[in-house]
Structures are given as structure tokens and as C-alpha cells.
Amino acid sequence: MAELVEHPCVQHKLAIIRDVETGHKRFRELATEITEFICYEALKNIKTKEIKVQTPVAVATCRKIDTDIVVVPILRAGVGMLDGILELVPTARVGFVGLYRDEETKLPVTYYERFPPQIHGGTCIIIDPMLATGGSTVAAIDQLKDKGADNIIVICIVTCPEGIELVESAHPDVKIYAAAIDTKLNEKKYIVPGLGDAGDRLFGTSDPE
């Protein structure tokens, strides 16, 4: 199931990050800011426990997060969202998945993976700015589940119906959070209207398309 985060601040920042005139420095800043808002929403039902805290005045009954949080960026563009989550949850652990698409089979191939042991019993957050075809996201979820993860969510900035459908069909237990659900994929498998190549725009490796 996909949930759209429609907070006015998110949508305002989304308008700026989409703009072809937004340079890579501002693009990175916006990716961090938008991710933080989406993560705030995605973690609203996370497991907590009751604790007692001594204030300067009296004992207060409070709540603390009661699960390990593991953030898993899909390389390379997912790294551009990492700071947004770590600012919100600085104790989160970080794993990585590196994938590329085989030119013949068109299927995702793993070239790197590294997960902390806390994926067992913890909450895993896969991050990638664009959930387009959904192939890389499904592959990342497959890898986490193969390693024993059973509580996974996906956070992206922009997605589309094709990507959502593929993830939901393969992993109906995984919820997707996004700032925008765009119209479609074009013939190059770019999201329309999208925001271009997120990796290139994050790291300044080419002009945005």
C-alpha cells in the first residue's frame, strides 16, 4: 500500500526540487528536508515503550522508541536521503544495497550489500528518491527478507503507478511512503513528470534532464 504525504511544507519543497533550475547543492538540501518529513509520517506507528523520567520538578511518564531502526539506501541515489532520516533518528543503523540493471535481461543485479544484524526484529527503511519501475526496490526487499528482516517500509520522494504495482504484487506487506505519485513511466523508464535523474542531480554528475 502506498501512502502519499501531502503536508503543505512537503509539497512546497517538492515543487522546488522538481524545478530544472534547482542546482545540485539545493537539490541535496531539499532531498534531506523532504525525507525528514516523509520519515516523520512513516514512523508514526512505530513501537514504543513507557518509561519514567526525572524532570527538575517531578517524575514524568514518557515514551521511547522500542525497536532498532535500520536505514538501507539503494546506491547511489538513496545516499542523498540518508541524512534526512539520521537527523530524525540519529541512533538508526545503516545498511547498503548496490544494484545495477543487466542490459540483456533488464533485471536488477546486486553488486554490493551490507546489513547490520539489527535487521532481525528491527524496522528496516529502504530509501531511494525515485521508485520508478520498482525492480530495484523489490530486489532490495528480497535481499532484506532473505537475511531475516520481517518489518520493512519504503520511503521515496516520487513514485508512479507502475512501480507501486510491482512492489505491492511482490511484497504486499511492505508499505510505501512518497511525496508524489506521478502519472506514468516514459519509454526511457523515467517517471513523468518526475524530477529527472535523481543521482545526477544530487551529485552534480550531469545536467538535469
Name the catalytic one among 197, 201, 205, 207. Answer: 197
**Contact by Cβ (8 Å): 62, 103:** no
Name the catalytic one among 101, 110, 123, 173. Answer: 101
Catalytic-residue membership of 110: no
Q: What are phi and psi of 191, to 5 degrees?
A: -70, 135
Name the catalytic one among 55, 102, 105, 146. Answer: 105
Catalytic-residue membership of 101: yes
Name the catalytic one among 200, 201, 205, 207. Answer: 200
Give the whole-angstrom CA distance, residue 139 versus residue 145: 10
Q: Which residue has the cell 517517471?
A: 191
Q: What SS3 class is residue 63?
A: strand
The helix (H) or strand (E) run that includes residue 40 is helix 24-42
**Contact by Cβ (8 Å): 202, 77:** yes
Q: Which residues are catalytic?
A: 101, 105, 197, 200
